[in-house]
Amino acid sequence: MTQDTEQVEATYFSAWKARDFQALKSVLAQDVTYDGPQGHLDGPDAYARFMERLSQTMTDIVVLKRFVTGPDVLTWFDLHTNVAPPRPTANWSHVEDGKISWVRVTFDPQPMSA
């Protein structure tokens, strides 16, 4: 399970970094939820649209560490944008049946909204 969980998360980040939102959606469950500084989202379509908007300012994603425990993955990364210095970010995902079923993200969004 750990190998599959880590691969799903790696695919998620690779797709996001490549701005391949169809590939990103391919690892999201039909009932995926997102909770983070920007609010709450339900479903893969809303999630992919959100990530596409976020990617308009993203210049890089630098994954620093990934922790995998069973179906849970915590990815610590720096989110680089063209509107603020890199944002240290924690992304906690839960994987069920090879798909991400929920994501919880935390970072300080204040410099990005200035």
Residue 113 has pLDDT above 70, yes or no: no
**Angle at 73 (CA atoms; ends 54, 70), nearest 5 degrees:** 155
Task: Return the higher-pLDDT residue of 38 and 19.
Answer: 19
Residue 110 confidence (pLDDT): 74
The strand ranges marked E within 37-82 are 39-42, 58-69, 72-81
Question: Would you say the C-alpha torsion 10, 72, 56, 41 has a positive or negative sign?
Answer: positive
Average predicted confidence (pLDDT) for the chain = 93
Per residue in 38-91, pLDDT (tens digit) is: 899 999 999 999 999 999 999 999 999 999 999 999 999 999 999 989 999 999
Question: Helix (H, G, I), strand (E, B), or coil: what is residue 39?
Answer: strand
Task: Please give the span between the terminal C-alpha atoms of the chain, in angstroms, as a whole number.
Answer: 41
Residue 63 confidence (pLDDT): 96
d(CA 57, CA 12): 18
Q: Are 48 and 54 in contact (CB under 8 A)?
A: no
